[in-house]
Amino acid sequence: MAAPFAVHAVPTSARDPKTSSTLEPYQVSYLSMLLSSEILKFGGPFTLKSGRQSPYFFNAGLFCTGESIAAVASCYAERIKRSGVEFDVLFGPAYKGIPLAATVAMALQLQHGINVGFTYNRKEAKTHGEGGTLVGASMKGKRVLVLDDVMTAGTAINEAVAYIAAEKDAKLVGVCIALDRQERIKEDDTEGTVDMVSKRLGVPVLSVVGLDQIIAFLEARGGYEKEIESMKDYRARYGSVKG
């Protein structure tokens, strides 16, 4: 069996650097797929869970074909490998995190030769068979990296943290998300959600792409002037990084 993923580590207390507008090739492919699959949509306005009216919407529920889930898993795997975070198990919170955990674990193995376990939770505990709420690799004594789609107020991560804390000697070492909207939770906050959650948990919160990179991608592609203007206006009001 291959050894757990271990490359030169970054301190687990370190935060992911501010999202740069520079795009890596894998991020260009990722954003192209998001547009062609309409996982990333513009227009609206779209009402978010926070109640804000957003000019764009990211629907991770549309990672529902072999092509799209393979592409997103590949990009998660690339982002995770580049981060240098050391971990043994991927944890995917139900429900959207379940296919992410399975496919990212597969992508890490197939593309990078990195063999790690994955686990996920049930919404309701199983009362027969093996029972319990967790399925998959054990997190006991392991370093755990959580996978999720988009972090809005950062409350959903609390449940995942509670599952990890309940496992003997398990340790949260990071979180990886599909998109950093680069927003503040409250308009008078001085930091964005990702930075605040990273500080609170003491681990890096990684993102495959951020809002700045979406804007840079659309500017390079051309023909999205109205959409770019709307997103920049939205960022000026709610963003953690001012344009």
DSSP assignment of 95-110, as one string?
Answer: TTHHHHHHHHHHHHHH
Q: Which of 90-99, 127-136, 185-194 has the lowest mean pLDDT?
A: 127-136
Contact indicator for 31, 72 with CB cutoff of 8 Å: no
Beta bridge partners of 92: 120
Domain assignment of residue 12, yes or no: no
What are the backbone dihedrals phi and psi of residue 221, each rounded to the nearest 5 degrees, phi first?
-75, -40
Q: Which of 126, 140, 186, 199 is catalytic?
A: 126
Q: Which of 18, 49, 123, 128 is catalytic?
A: 128
Known active-site residue 128: yes
pLDDT per position as a tens digit, 122-149: 876 554 445 478 999 999 999 999 999 9
Domain assignment of residue 15, yes or no: no
Contact indicator for 212, 21 with CB cutoff of 8 Å: yes
Domain assignment of residue 16, yes or no: no
Q: How many domains does the chain have?
A: 1
Q: Residue 158: which CATH number?
A: 3.40.50.2020
Residue 19 clears pLDDT 80, i.e. is over it = no
Q: Which domain holds residue 108?
A: 25-238
Count of H-run helices and E-run strands, the chain: 7, 8
Known active-site residue 112: no
Domain assignment of residue 202, yes or no: yes
High-pLDDT (> 70) share of the chain, %: 86
Domain assignment of residue 165, yes or no: yes
